[in-house]
Amino acid sequence: MFLQMDKVGKTFNDKEEGRFEVFSDIDLSIEENQFVSLLGPSGCGKSTLLSMVAGLETVTEGSIKLEGEEIKKAGPDRGMVFQEASLFPWLNVKENVMFPLKQQLSKQEASKRTDQFLKMVHLSRFKENYTHELSGGMQQRVAIARALAMDPKVLLMDEPFGALDEQTRHILHEELMKIWQETKKTILFVTHSIQEAIKLSDRVIVMGTRPGKIIADFTIDVPRPRKRDDERVIELEKKVMELLEGEINKVLKEELSHEGSH
């Protein structure tokens, strides 16, 4: 299996809460070229799991393997795109995308590769601009180009469109689909939006409340491009919504009982 998680668990030590378990027993297999979304209530560990695949967080239990190699630290075979674009404000667009390539490639090769990916995200004419001159959507395109320019095996996306307005998000959905089909990357995508997950993904993994576990794995068997009014899309959205509402109600009950005991 391309990306394999076996009995993965994560525990944090918190000054106030002491030791607490974020999630446990996560078993997940992802095939090469798949687009997989993670959905779940706040605090279920979606972003933590993504950070563990990136090698930015350590695994407490179990293992995560990419092409059979256990992930122990960050590496160029995994590209990460965050909700905030995390760009260097003192560099222009082209320099931002080139920055991680400088250690691996000659200046000429890095420049050529950067131009290729800026073209892919339709930012070629903005390559001399600085990040403060760009809209939020354009900044995210720069971040996607930077991650792709490293030619990672897996693209990890942590709510990359969460802070954008609906119209910009819709445009970036279309662009991401084209990029994914063109580059054949494996994408692991964290989102709070059921519609976004179903629109983009081959599979939607639903995580339960903390300590998080995988409670459902939906195969999105709808041809692309997907329309919101498609009967199967509506049916899948309803199923996922019912599951999530059940999990969110559990959280609310726990919080109310916790408050009542004080």
d(CA 6, CA 8) in angstroms, rounded, equals: 5
Assigned superfamily of 1-77+152-229: P-loop containing nucleotide triphosphate hydrolases (3.40.50.300)
Cβ pair 177, 35 in contact under 8 A: no
Cβ pair 186, 30 in contact under 8 A: yes
Dig out the tokens for 90 from the structure.
Answer: 């003192």
DSSP letters along the chain, please?
A: --EEEEEEEEEEEETTTEEEEEEEEEEEEE-TT-EEEEE--TTSSHHHHHHHHHTSS--SEEEEEETTEEP-S--TTEEEE-SS----TTSBHHHHHHGGGTTTS-HHHHHHHHHHHHHHTT-GGGTTSBGGGS-HHHHHHHHHHHHHHT--SEEEEESTTTTS-HHHHHHHHHHHHHHHHHH--EEEEE-S-HHHHHHH-SEEEEE-SSSB-EEEEEE---PSSP-TT-HHHHHHHHHHHHHHHHHHHHHHHHHHHHHHT-
Q: Domain ranges for the chain, please list them.
A: 1-77+152-229, 86-150
Distances (CA, A) of 258 to 244, 254, 255, 261, 262: 21, 6, 5, 5, 7
What tens-digit pLDDT sequence spans the chain (262 residues)?
899 999 999 998 877 767 888 998 999 999 999 999 999 988 889 999 999 999 999 999 999 999 999 999 999 999 999 988 889 999 999 999 999 998 889 999 999 999 999 999 999 999 999 999 999 999 999 999 999 999 999 999 999 999 899 999 999 999 999 999 999 999 999 999 999 999 999 999 999 987 889 999 999 999 999 999 999 999 999 999 999 998 888 777 776 776 666 6
Dig out the tokens for 167 from the structure.
Answer: 């119209």
Cβ pair 35, 225 in contact under 8 A: no
User: pTM of the entire structure?
Assistant: 0.93
pLDDT at 262: 60
Beta bridge partners of residue 12, listed in sequence order = 20
